[in-house]
Amino acid sequence: MLGDLRDGIWYFAGYLYSYVGWGDGWCCLRKIIHCDCDCFYASVELRDDPSLKGLPVAVGGAAERRGVVATCNYEARTFGIHSAMPTASALRRCPNLIVLTPRMEAYREVALQIRGIFKRYTELIEPLSLDEAYLDVTDCDAFQGSATRIAQAIRQHVRDEVGITISAGVAPNKFLAKVASDWDKPDGLTVITPAQVDEFVLSLPVSKIHGVGKVMTARMADQAIYSCADLRLRTLEELQGLFGKFGQQLYDYARGVDSRSVKPHRERKSLSVETTFAQDLEGIETAKNQVVDLFKELEKRLLRVENKPLSGVFVKLKSADFRQTTIDRRYQGELTTVLFEQLLEEAWPRMASPLRLIGLGVRFDSKVEKTTVSKVVREEQLDLFS
């Protein structure tokens, strides 16, 4: 009954917003669900080995091989452990941490099972990763079209059939649905109807906006911007001046506006492989020796994707002191180890220190022009745990 009443309000409010507009933008009436598995890799491991329940568990690379944490359960998070943290740092914070090697095939199998549950309600599914996806259930007839009850049913199916928990957010657009799914984790459901959007967004901290990390949050604080209400005090021109192209998104998000549709088929724009080495690589020749194995892995992964024309290639290097450089070149010819070795040689002088990571990659483009030799070089100082 609550779901039906909530969706009745949804339709009425959505009808008004569709014709009256809101703020400086227009609302498109949609019912979007964002589903996000809770501690996905760790949840699968605990499901398969119940003896781990209640213990701090992380899934990731070994500390002695400079691995990082892919994910961890909430018991581990109480120690301040988080994704992308070096495993060695995680073990210093929690010496009793159980670190498990990732089982990607098992996770993919579970992800496909969950995807099958999604398809019972809609074909409009946009996967973001193995453990999260957007669903557009605007035209779904299940539960008399109640998005709330559809989300409840999906979460129950995942719990009963898969054996893990999933959090969900229901809202009129993708931005708000994603924020909502993270609002009451783990195992939570948060619903934002069109009538609630304005009040919800006004109190939303900017740190909850996807794409606003620690550095951006600090930059905003310097401008006395802490919430979406503060963002609304700035003109579009001011936000673009402060944050470039992202300023337009911030302007829209602060008003609860997001016109992006759910795209079931996301076009792959790039593919890459990378390795973090147990010991830093000293010297250009030592680094070049690693290109052969990385190139073989890149070729294997390319066989798994549809045949797409190339638009470019790139090499990424990360130094022992966590500086990162990427050399990106437009290219449409045949891929060879020599090509990547040349890019590595060009990038090497920029690091001027031993390497901890090498990555090789390609970019795809359906509208490829003639091959050029123009290059774009980017260099940045990364946060310690990036």
Is 48 marked within a binding site?
no
Query: Which candidate, 220, 165, 224, 169, places its Cα nearest to that of 193?
Result: 169
Confidence of residue 275 (pLDDT cuts 50, 70, 90): confident
- Domain 42-103 shares a fold with domain 270-381: no
Query: In the sheet that 375-381 helps form, which strands lie side by side, from edge to edge?
Result: 270-281, 355-364, 310-319, 323-330, 375-381
What is the architecture, at CATH level 2, of domain 270-381?
Answer: 2-Layer Sandwich (3.30)
**How many whole angstroms separate alpha carbon 256 and alpha carbon 166?**
24
Handedness of CA 281, 282, 288, 289 (dihedral sign): negative
Instruction: Give the catalytic positions in this structure.
Output: 132
Band (309; pLDDT cuts 50, 70, 90): confident
pLDDT greater than 80 at residue 14: no
196-200, 269-273, 370-374: which range is least confident on average?
A: 370-374
Give yes or no for residue 377 having a pLDDT over 50: no
For residue 28, is pLDDT > 70?
Answer: no
Q: How far, in Å, CA of 219 to CA of 290, rounded?
A: 39
Most confident of 42-51, 214-223, 302-311: 42-51
Residue 175 has pLDDT above 60, yes or no: yes
Report whether 131 belongs to an annotated binding site. Answer: yes
Could you read off the pLDDT of 78-130 as tens digits, one per residue? Answer: 999 999 899 999 999 999 999 999 999 999 999 999 999 999 999 999 999 99
At 366 the three-state DSSP class reads: coil
pLDDT at residue 15 greater than cutoff 70 = no
Cβ(88)–Cβ(356) under 8 Å?
Answer: no
Mean pLDDT score of the chain: 86
Answer whether residue 382 shows pLDDT above 60. Answer: no
Q: Would you identify the CATH topology of the domain 42-103? A: MutS, DNA mismatch repair protein, domain I (3.40.1170)
Residue type, 230: D
Q: Which residues pair with 170 in a beta bridge?
A: 33, 191
Q: Is the pLDDT reported for residue 138 higher than 90?
A: yes
Instruction: Evaluate whether 88 touches 98 at the Cβ level (below 8 Å).
Output: no
CATH of domain 203-256: 1.10.150.20
- Does the predicted TM-score (pTM) go above 0.85? no
25 pLDDT higher than 80? no
User: Could you tell me whether strands 189-191 and 310-319 are parallel, antiparallel, or unpaired per DSSP bridges?
Assistant: unpaired
Tokens of 252: 């829209």
Domain boundaries, the chain: 42-103, 203-256, 270-381
Q: Are 320 and 356 a contacting pair, CB within 8 Å? A: yes
Residue 378 CB neighbours (<10 A): 11
